[in-house]
Amino acid sequence: MIPTARQWTVILSRQAGAWGSFSYDPAEDALRLTATPRPAEFHERLAYTLDNPTADSVVTTLRWEKLAISFTIGVNSKAVVTDSIRQQLRGLGRFFWQPWNQAARWSLNNEVNLEEALGWADRSIGLNENFTNLRTKAAILEKRGDRVAADSLRRNALQVATEADMNGYGYQLLGQGKVDEAIEVFRKNAKDYPRSWNTYDSLGEAYTLKGDKRQAIANYSRALALTKDPDNKKRIEVVLAGLR
């Protein structure tokens, strides 16, 4: 840093090994900027702090004695993460469906790099076609405007869904406030897996959120009759007591 009475010049160098200004070489400057010093609380030792961090920036502050000098560093976080994903997919993770799906889902959720994300989803499906990666690809296609292909993939996903897939999907819908849609998913799961106490437990919870006590009691009672786990028995008994 070069101090003056009103403004300081802040220099970021490509050389991190030089000691102080004794071997400073302007040719190694990466960036120069100006910052205005301001009074600050007393700070005994020289310190650099990273303040007010966000997803894309942080305020870097030099603090020394009663002086502070701040400047903002911005980062294209989405580009950094995308590059990191590409590097990670060159490692061991490339042999499993989950990392490819996670990469595609991250791009979808952040609305970046969708063309490459579609390829990642295809790689995941090629390794192990399942409910999760089919729905990821469907969501990317829909985001890109291909609703027909997206709907077709979602129908295919339902055909290969496991009990756990459907249960998780139902709770996802509940989290979105789509109670009636969640009930339909839980009802299908209970029909496909009639000996699973958990399907009725989830359906009972959905009916409770809908305000249908009669159906909630009926399904919780069915779950209670099927479960052999003492902790879940006790929990369901408490829920039923509160509904009656």
Domain assignments of the chain as residue spans, ordered by start: 8-74, 77-160, 177-244
Q: How far apart are CA 102 and CA 107, in angstroms?
A: 9
Q: Give the per-residue pLDDT at 20.
A: 78
**Residue carrying the six token digits 């009669």:** 214
- Rounded Cα gap, residues 105 and 236, in angstroms: 35
Residue stretches of the chain with pLDDT short of 70 = none
Match 């409910």 to its residue by tokens.
Answer: 131
The DSSP code for 120 is H
Number of residues assigned to the chain: 244
Architecture in CATH for domain 177-244: Alpha Horseshoe (1.25)
Q: Phi/psi of residue 10, each to 5°? A: -105, 125
Measure CA 101 to chain center. 13
Measuring CA to CA, which residue among 173, 168, 205, 220 is closest to residue 189? 168
Full-model pTM: 0.74
Q: Say if 77-160 and 177-244 have the same CATH topology.
A: yes
Rounded to the nearest 10 degrees, the angle between the axes of helix 114-127 and helix 97-110 is: 160
CATH T-level fold of 77-160:
1.25.40
Q: What is the pLDDT of residue 148?
A: 96
* Predicted pLDDT of residue 244: 86
What is the pLDDT at residue 158? 92
CB 170 within 8 A of CB 135: no
By three-state DSSP, how is residue 12 classified?
strand
